[in-house]
A = this chain, B = another copy of it.
Amino acid sequence: MKDDPRLTPLVAALPATVPFVGPEAQERALGRPFAARIGANESVFGPSPKAIRAMQEAAAEAWKYPDSHSHELREALAAHHRIDPGHILVGEGIDGLLGLLVRLTVTEGTPVVTSDGAYPTFNYHVAGFGGVLHKVAYTADHEDPERLIARGRDVGARLIYLTNPDNPMGTWHDGPTVARTIAQVPEGSLLVLDEAYIDCAPEGTAPPLDPEDTRVIRMRTFSKAYGLAGARVGYAIGPKPLIAAFDRVRNHFGMTRMGQAGALAALKDQTYLRETALKIAAARDRIAEIGKANGLSPIPSAANFVALDCGGEGALARAVLTGLVSRGVFVRMPFVAPQDRCIRVSCGTEADLAAFAAALPEALAAARAEMG
């Protein structure tokens, strides 16, 4: 298909590839539904029943446009974090917020630093606005804050991206390490601290919030431990001038009423969130056990998934993944070596993990046979 001649030169030069193929698209290709949906780091434990009820009630009011300020949710988040609401922007998931942040700060040729193999949707947005990505290798399966900062300084990066806990490996740094990293952000750079998985991590993984600090913007989401991936609600915490700048470019009426109501109710049910975190921790242990029982090495994780080292090159892990998918178990894997020696398994229900445990030995045997 020939490009439309009216595209901007930047867009015309972008690849047609997309960051992720969703499970529904894979199911359509397979011709049947997955038996276990444990590949997209969703929360199979679901959101608080109160959040579901709130969304159901909001559905009856769906004829109204959403509040363009997400006022109630923003006020509740501000109270929850004990900060001023002017430091918070609610948006259509971290994906949407990352896109806007890149638009605000990156233009053609702007240098940006990330880790090689970290969240591809961030890279997608940087490329989409013409930024130049500089990638730093992981160190022992961890994103490496010191090297990220050093590279940021070297290239004069506008943005330096760090996920904590990391996706796709699940590894994490403690709060003091992240606080030191923030303190080292070079003048003119902004640390994008993606804390999508923070609610699954041990106490103390997040450094204290200091929203006046102009060196960092923090991203949080209701898609992971809160269990609301389908409602598209994330938020950014940062210095007021930066948060206010989003209002110049964002889709002001882009949130849904159901998402706003669901997130508000989920936020208010912290008991449910804590219970979910316990279920996530138990599921992580179970995934690690299943992996070990099959000769795979689990990478310690503070997220809602576990990377299992298949003990070979990327080709072996890819073959294992293919075997699992063809057996109805949806999992994913890191894109980049050496992390791509792993498969990545999201926390599941007991039934999900039983399906995984049943499929894994066959998938492994087939993959090993294929590798010779």
- Residues of B within 8 Å of A67, CB to CB, are 22, 24-25
The residue in chain B whose Cβ has the minimal distance to the Cβ of A240 is B1
Q: Are B106 and A8 in contact (CB under 8 A)?
A: yes
The reply on A69 being an interface residue by CB < 8 A is yes
User: A residues near B, CB below 8 A?
Assistant: 1-11, 14-16, 18-25, 28, 37, 40, 42-47, 51-52, 55-56, 58-69, 71, 92-93, 95-96, 99, 103-107, 110, 128, 158, 188-190, 214, 223, 227-232, 239-242, 244-245, 247-249, 251-259, 262
- Residues of B within 8 Å of A245, CB to CB, are 3-4, 7, 11
- Residues of B within 8 Å of A99, CB to CB, are 251
- Residues of B within 8 Å of A58, CB to CB, are 230
Q: Are B256 and A96 in contact (CB under 8 A)?
A: no
A18-B68, A42-B64 known; A256 vs B244 contact (CB < 8 Å): no
20 contacts between A and B (CB under 8 A): A1-B240, A7-B245, A9-B107, A10-B107, A15-B248, A18-B252, A20-B253, A23-B65, A40-B64, A51-B62, A55-B56, A62-B227, A62-B230, A62-B262, A63-B228, A65-B230, A92-B251, A95-B253, A99-B251, A258-B258
- Residues of B within 8 Å of A69, CB to CB, are 22, 24-25
10 A-B pairs with the lowest CB-CB distances in the bound complex, closest first: A230-B257, A55-B59, A24-B67, A62-B230, A14-B248, A56-B56, A63-B227, A22-B68, A4-B241, A65-B229
Per the bound structure, the CA–CA distance linking A42 and B67 in Å amounts to 13
A55-B59, A251-B95 known; A230 vs B66 contact (CB < 8 Å): yes
Per the bound structure, the CA–CA distance linking A3 and B231 in Å amounts to 32
Q: Are B63 and A20 in contact (CB under 8 A)?
A: no
* Minimum C-beta distance from A299 to chain B (A): 23
Scoring A37, A255, A259 by chain B CB atoms within 10 A of each residue's CB, the highest score goes to: A259
Q: Are A65 and B22 in contact (CB under 8 A)?
A: yes
* Minimum C-beta distance from A329 to chain B (A): 16
* Minimum C-beta distance from A275 to chain B (A): 15
Q: Are A20 and B249 in contact (CB under 8 A)?
A: no
- A42 touches which one: B10, B63, B228 (CB < 8 A)? B63
- Residues of B within 8 Å of A14, CB to CB, are 248-249
- Residues of B within 8 Å of A52, CB to CB, are 59-60, 62
* Minimum C-beta distance from A35 to chain B (A): 15
